[in-house]
Amino acid sequence: MLQILFAFVWPTAIAVAVALLVGRVVATAVTLTSEAVDGGPAGAGERQSQRGLSAILSAMIASASSQALVVVSATTLGPVASAQIAVGQRIAGAPASLVGQAFTQVMLGAASPLIRYGETGLERLLRRQTVRVAILSAGAAVVLMTLGPLLAVPVLGEDYRAAGDLTAIFAVPLSLTLVALPATSLMIPLGRERQLFAIQLCRLGAIVTAILISSIIWSDTVVVSIVTSAVWTAAYVPLLYAAFVAARTHDRRALENG
């Protein structure tokens, strides 16, 4: 709904990207506000506010990373290329948009008792969830890479032929979002929100740098998208690594305190 409202006021691909960014920030802020209202030690208010701010900024930067190519390409490659990229990303991101938050809630629901009561088994839970979701993510990526180019013209029209190819290019990084969301969601309840913010900021910098450099060297929509997708995919590695380190640290402390 927010994207539709933005499109009415500012009918461009950039408006859709901005709407996604605003929506992510609002959703994160509402979630954190609800958690804060649930209660806690009186002296924890300032700490809760700091954690909430870091989490909101992390969500904002994560959304900015996913929309960076749409926004930057409007300047470097032109509005037509930006529109094609926006359509390709929206199609490739459909699986994450539809079920990404559901996987995250399942992960948090299973992990919350372990974190709250200081019990072990968090790393094992994270590994099991990551493997299962990775299998589903790989399947989604294969489907998108296969059907995206085939169905773009019949469904969207001849003008969006390029969007089908771009859907295939973006299939891997956007399908990996299904894996990354549940894993990184653990970092906030584990008190790693500042680390998450720093990693997300570095990811954004790497993605924007890749877009600018590839645009200067090649100035071709497909090539720029491939380079950006490769960096985007690689940028998930530090996020997942940090999540597993946080879970392993929790288990070690739980053993020491047990």
What band does 16 get if pLDDT is binned at 50, 70 and 90? low
User: Using only C-alpha atoms, what is the Rg of the chain?
Assistant: 19
pLDDT digit string (tens) for 124-133?
Answer: 999 999 999 9
Top pLDDT among 16 and 81 is at 81
End-to-end CA, the chain: 48
pLDDT of 209 strictly over 70: yes
Top pLDDT among 211 and 41 is at 211
Is the Cβ–Cβ distance between 99 and 177 less than 8 Å? no
Whole-number pLDDT of residue 178: 93
Which of 169, 20, 7 lies closest to 81 in space, CA to CA? 169
Whole-number pLDDT of residue 55: 81
What band does 165 get if pLDDT is binned at 50, 70 and 90? very high
Q: Is the pTM of this model over 0.85?
A: no
21: which 2 tokens?
A: 């960014």
Alpha helices per DSSP H over the chain = 2-9, 13-37, 45-76, 79-92, 94-116, 122-156, 161-185, 193-217, 221-234, 236-257
Reduced to 3 states (helix: H, G, I; strand: E, B; else coil), residue 189 is coil
Query: Furthest-apart CA pair in the chain: how many Å?
Result: 64
pLDDT of 43 strictly over 70: no
Whole-number pLDDT of residue 26: 59
